[in-house]
Every structure is written in structure tokens, then in C-alpha cells.
Amino acid sequence: MLMSMELFGAYVVATLVLLAIPGPTILLVISYALSHGKKSAAACVLGVGLGDATAATASLLGLGAILATSAFLFTLLKWVGAAYLFWIGLKMWRSRSDGLTAGVVEEAPARKIFLHAYVVTALNPKGIIFFMAFLPHFISQQAPVAPQLLLLGSTFVVLGILNAAVYAYAASAIGERLRSPSLMKAINRIGGGFLMSAAAMTASLQRG
């Protein structure tokens, strides 16, 4: 047995609490789901899942330790992520909605949205460091470490996907009830504002 059910249950509860707090990734998911509907929600959720898996793998391979000790690399990665988020937010803010009519969902460029969600999630330096700081608290000393890390990392990715899906499909359901050119323009402005706020949140990250 890798670990006790009590320890694993505590990890699941702690992870759900942490995931429920919206960060840059969730703001991205909400923004796209509002403006592009359910197809983009699925693409976003898959991007978040792969991004979390990448961050977890990078952390377990030692990148988290490097980012935690190198101010330059941490700052470089966070500014790249912040600039990328701001660029996406600005594009959404300035996007045209003239051609939308009530009840019509704008065609979602799923591949591009998937890539955006993946890059934003994977480039979050705080996420990479988080795995190194968080997972050791739930490691049992009476069992091999590697299988436990694999279990905990996989569990985090699955819960992250479920959390993103809840936000995405709730936001897409709201967005689909508000389809009109004027409302879509407002939604794009709100979504773009969310993403530019997420960029500011990413830029303000500290290593501590």
C-alpha cells in the first residue's frame, strides 16, 4: 500500500481547496468559455490538464528547485507568462462581435485555445514550485517515494481537470444565454479584462 487512506484523503481535500481559488489559469478558462461556448471549454480543460501534468513533471525532475533558487529564471518565466496572458487578453478585448446573432455561438478555434490554456498553465513558475513545496507534506516515510509522487501528481492533474471543467461549463452555460452582438462585445471586454488582470497577477508573483 502506497499510503494510508487518511493521508490520501487529506491530500485530496487540501488540493480541492487550493484549486477552488481562481488563479490566472481559471480566469483564462472562464474568459474563453464565456466568449466561445462549450467547444472552447473542452479545449481549455484539456490544455489545463496537460499544462498541470507538464508542471508536475518539470517540478519532479528538479526545475522547481532551480526556479526556487534562481531569481533570474523565476523572473524570466513569470514575465513571459504575464506577457502571453496580456497579449491574449488584449486580443479578446479588441475582438469584433458584429457578426453574432442571438442563439449563435461563435466558432471556437479549439486548437489555438488548447495551446493557450496549456502554455499559460505550464509556464506558471508558482505552479512548478508549488508541487515541490506541497507534495512532500503528504509523503509516507514507510513506503517508496517515487510511486507516491506519481499517485499524488496524477491525482492533482485529475482534480485540476475536474475543477477547470466546472468553471468552464458553468461559464459557457451563462455565455450561451447572453448571445447578442452588444452583449458579446461586453463579454469579450470582461473576458479580456480578466486575462489582463491575470497577467498582472502573474507579474506580481514572488518566489517566497
What single letter denotes the amino acid at residue 69? T
pLDDT for position 163: 92
- Does 123 fall in a domain? yes
Helix (H) / strand (E) containing 206: none
Is residue 182's pLDDT more than 70? no
pLDDT tens-digit readout, 116-173: 889 888 877 767 777 777 777 777 777 787 788 888 889 999 999 999 999 888 888 8
Indicate the pLDDT class of residue 203, thresholds 50, 70 and 90. Answer: confident
Which residue range(s) make up the domain with 63? Answer: 23-97+106-136+147-203
- Does 6 fall in a domain? no
- Does 154 fall in a domain? yes
Between the ranges 11-15, 21-25, 183-187, where is the mean pLDDT highest? Answer: 11-15
pLDDT tens-digit readout, 81-92: 778 778 777 877
Number of domains in the chain: 1
| CA 15 centroid distance within chain | 14
- Does 161 fall in a domain? yes
- Does 208 fall in a domain? no
- Does 158 fall in a domain? yes
- Does 184 fall in a domain? yes
pLDDT for position 102: 37
* Residue in 172, 161, 159 with CA at minimum distance from that of residue 45: 161
- Does 114 fall in a domain? yes
